[in-house]
Chains A and B, each alone.
Chain A
């Protein structure tokens, strides 16, 4: 079964997005800014609604305009790591990490929790508030928070874009570990070197359309 099949159309006043692709494993949405990468990520997560089309994840139809199916974002089980972390400032790191589990009504899973906290090296941060953490720490927590909601697919939208080179080097190994764990991922980026380290498949977008789809050789 194909992990992800997308065929969507969305028209804005001065931009038309018309994108179709299907793939497995770790998929990179690659392209220059303004090519529609983030919009595609938002459409898959359910934050933006397509005008028409179909989105299927692991055989589950999340959106189908002809069948009038539109699963709301909170029922899609798609973890989303945003460019700017978006941690909840009024909660401790531990509460942030636990948020998805509580909202989904999942039972406590200490093994999973401890494994992810150890993998992302978050143990010493649990009692802190997000306000005064470094960009790299915040982004690791954001990744942990998304993972702990037990998503069936993880969307990462330029998770390294707001970090400096040293912080990027700090986060990349964690992302490579996720790839090694075979968690289905969509990685949005315009950096070929990042994509090469993280993705198996590449969908190259240009001006709201798929310019090419295939392996990492597309990165040139």
Chain B
């Protein structure tokens, strides 16, 4: 006789899976599994952080220039939203342990609202990049036809570092939706103050007719594009994790609504909470790296 049949007559705690002996063992297993999964996630993002580190140390001015185009207000708002959502998530775990169903439902809904807000803000930011031709893959940006009457020739004559930062933004013609970057004032400043790194000198500059090094718009643009590439991959992967998190929340909401969690069984809530906090923490690193570093070149003197 197989142990299958005898199992039916043995008392089983609700939620205990067949391979475990008791809830303690199950909770320990699930918890270790989740922590190692998060370690795996750290390595996953770690590859991107490494790439960021390498290119930032190679092209600090291009990264500062790209970083300055990101809106620290939206980034800061999102940071705030995520931190508060972590609080509501932590409270959800607390109320799951207490077996308070109504508070669980309210807090999960709040967490989901914050998560959706984050994604909404991200969508606003991405749209802005789309409109300004800052998506690094050619063809994915807004296609702006060159107007027949408009005179862009005059602007093109001006060197790329002579930019009026207070002027209203100009929409550049971009018939193929390519990546556009016309402002190399930061690199020029660094060149004048002689703080360009060796690899920057190598990679930004060309010799003009007097054999003097000058900034090359296209060369500088390529480096800014690498910044935006990393920006999109990192925040995109993060947003993907947020979407998965929202899926988890939907499932939690349903099962919490069904009175599933109480002091004896709350691991799904706690594990989803761990995941949520992890995604939050990734953002805590992304925000300063992408939005804040290098701002002092323009905003702080």
Partners in one complex: no
Binding site for B on A (CB under 8 A): none
